[in-house]
Amino acid sequence: MRVFVLDKNLKPLDPCHPARARELLSCMRAYVHKRYPFTIVLQDRSVENSTVHPHRIKIDPGSKVTGIAVVQEQTGRVTNALEISHRGQQVKNALESRRALRRGRRNRKTRYRKPRFLNRTRKQGWLPPSLESRIANIETWVRRIRKLCRVTAISTELVRFDLQQMQNPEISGIEYQRGELFGFEVKEYLLTKWGRNCAYCSIENVPLEIEHIVAKSRGGSNRVSNLTLACRKCNEAKGNKPIEQFLKKKPDLLKKILRSAKAPLKDATAVNATRWELYRRLQSTGLSVEVGSGGRTKFNRKIRGIEKHHWTDAACVGASTPERLLLLGIKPLLIAAKGHGTRQRCRPDKFGFPKAHAPKAKSFQGFQTGDIVKADVPTGKFAGQYVGRIAIRFRPSFVLQLPTQKFDVHPKYLKTIHKADGYEYQSSLLLMPYRTIY
Ligand SMILES: [Zn+2]
């Protein structure tokens, strides 16, 4: 993990090693600009008189967690890695509870009102709010990184497999040995086609092997229409038996497998709406956007012998991935989307009856829910120093949320180190020394 560096006009320079940043901070040549991600301002430098290398933002969008890696293109060094946890499910739950509440109220109060739920139109490119929030999270972080580092290109994963590279997979025979890019595309294709479970016993969440429906020793081909996925046990049990014999007791399953084996997978199933929309929005940044397939990502990661994490997957997205990726000692900054609070003033109980009223104000004594603070509690059960996120109350007793515990603190013991920005952070850089300039 490197530290982002800005020049005195807040223009991005090359990120530097944390040790170098500590040195610059302690000899007062730099000051802290931002805690998350850690950024310093070098006061005696400007972009004009220093060389700045181009970087590429690489994104592996996921439904729960998105990995982002910032890679220096010439050296292949991963300078920074982020893992963003989205709040799609929370958004969905909140909207569902609101809908149920409103529906109940309409039923009670306006029973004879004409329905008017069908006279609404949606803007083009509309996505459900839960998906929209995911895209917005990624857009936000691309925008933020661009302010901290010179970014010239973006890579993102768009599809699970690349149909064009496979060229009509159901017809052509394809080599799928380990280590071949095609093999990874074929595996991803099969995973999508057969639904990520064993074709014979439908077990899930186990390693699946590519299985020939007509065994090779019986003249079966390498065409995708002759391939399916099976768990180790089923694969061994079937061996080179004909499928008709192996599934003698399950005629329905046999019929289903034979039917779906011949049917080609439609192009559309490889791409989902969210990723397309993300791709469109990334293009509107004006940077060159490269797209990769899931098969390519896996291939890139496997041949480089890199462990699987969201951020390493991100670093391996796309054909432009450098031959050597330098990622020793990188620890990703873990980011969790937390939203910006709620406008709901009435807090109902589970039956929809008003339970409490929330004040309109968002801040109290200069603090806001979501601020990250340094707490120095002198006495009491929780005496000590902490860094964490606070939730405010409208009296001098805030809740300090730490990874393992939470307790009440008086605001006089708190000092804000990072203003609420809709995200929560967890990183190893929490205890960097810092100096603020007023
Ligand atoms: Zn099985």
CA of 62 to the centre of ligand 1 (A): 27
Burial class of residue 259, CB neighbours in 10 A (0-12, 13-18, 19+)? exposed
pLDDT at residue 147 greater than cutoff 50: yes
Right CATH for 346-420 from 1.10.3470, 2.30.30, 3.90.550, 1.25.40: 2.30.30
Mean pLDDT of 397-402: 92
**Band (412; pLDDT cuts 50, 70, 90):** very high
CA of 16 to the centre of ligand 1 (A): 50
The C-alpha torsion from 42 through 43 and 46 to 52, rounded to 10°, is: -10
CA of 161 to the centre of ligand 1 (A): 24
Of 74, 37, 70, which is closest to residue 56 (Cα–Cα)? 70
At 178 the pLDDT is: 52
pLDDT per residue as tens digits for the range 348-392: 887 778 898 988 899 999 999 999 999 999 998 999 899 889 999
CA of 268 to the centre of ligand 1 (A): 28
Residues of the chain with CATH 1.10.30: 163-267
Beta carbons of 55 and 306 less than 8 angstroms apart: no
Residues making up the chain, counted from first to last = 438
pLDDT at residue 248 greater than cutoff 90: no
CA of 406 to the centre of ligand 1 (A): 46
CA of 232 to the centre of ligand 1 (A): 7
CA of 223 to the centre of ligand 1 (A): 21
Of 103, 97, 79, which is closest to residue 14 (Cα–Cα)? 79
Query: Scanning the structure block, which residue is given the tokens 């330098």?
Result: 326
At 151 the pLDDT is: 95
Mean pLDDT of 67-86: 94
Q: Residues of the chain with pLDDT > 70: what percent?
A: 92
Residues of the chain with CATH 3.30.420.40: 4-87+128-160+271-337
Amino acid (1-letter code) at residue 29: R
pLDDT per residue as tens digits for the range 164-217: 666 566 655 555 555 577 778 888 888 888 888 898 888 888 888 888 888 888
CA of 65 to the centre of ligand 1 (A): 29
CA of 322 to the centre of ligand 1 (A): 38
Domain 163-267: give its CATH architecture: Orthogonal Bundle (1.10)
pLDDT per residue as tens digits for the range 416-425: 999 999 999 9
CA of 197 to the centre of ligand 1 (A): 8
Fold of 4-87+128-160+271-337: Nucleotidyltransferase; domain 5 (3.30.420)
At 430 the pLDDT is: 43
CA–CA separation, 254 and 210 (whole Å) = 17
CA of 399 to the centre of ligand 1 (A): 50
At 144 the pLDDT is: 96
Furthest CA-CA distance within the chain: 80
pLDDT at residue 435 greater than cutoff 50: no
CA of 246 to the centre of ligand 1 (A): 12
At 193 the pLDDT is: 84
pLDDT per residue as tens digits for the range 263-279: 777 655 556 788 889 99
CA–CA separation, 258 and 250 (whole Å) = 13
CA of 200 to the centre of ligand 1 (A): 5
At 135 the pLDDT is: 94
At 177 the pLDDT is: 56
Q: Give the number of other Cβ atoms within 10 Å of residue 425's Cβ.
A: 19
Q: Which residues contact 226 (CB under 8 A, 6 or more apart)?
A: 212, 213, 214, 220, 261
CA of 237 to the centre of ligand 1 (A): 9
CA of 233 to the centre of ligand 1 (A): 6
More confident residue, 179 or 302: 302
Of 297, 64, 304, 67, which is closest to residue 162 (Cα–Cα)? 297
CA of 309 to the centre of ligand 1 (A): 27
At 176 the pLDDT is: 58
CA of 190 to the centre of ligand 1 (A): 15
Residues of the chain with CATH 2.30.30: 346-420
CA of 238 to the centre of ligand 1 (A): 10
pTM over 0.85, yes/no: no
Q: 22-56 burial, b if ≥16 CB within 10 A, otherwise e?
A: eebbeeeebebbbbbbbbbbbeebebeeeeebebb
CA of 206 to the centre of ligand 1 (A): 9
Kindly report which listed range (52-61, 142-151, 241-250) carries the lowest average pLDDT score. Answer: 241-250
CA of 261 to the centre of ligand 1 (A): 17
At 167 the pLDDT is: 58
The pLDDT mean for the chain works out to 87
At 240 the pLDDT is: 86
pLDDT per residue as tens digits for the range 35-66: 999 999 999 888 888 899 999 999 999 888 99
Give the DSSP per-residue string, 106-166: HHHH-TTSPP-SSS----TT---HHHHHHHHHHHHHHHHHHHHS-EEEEEEEEESS-HHHH
Mean pLDDT of 302-330: 91
CA of 296 to the centre of ligand 1 (A): 27
At 434 the pLDDT is: 35
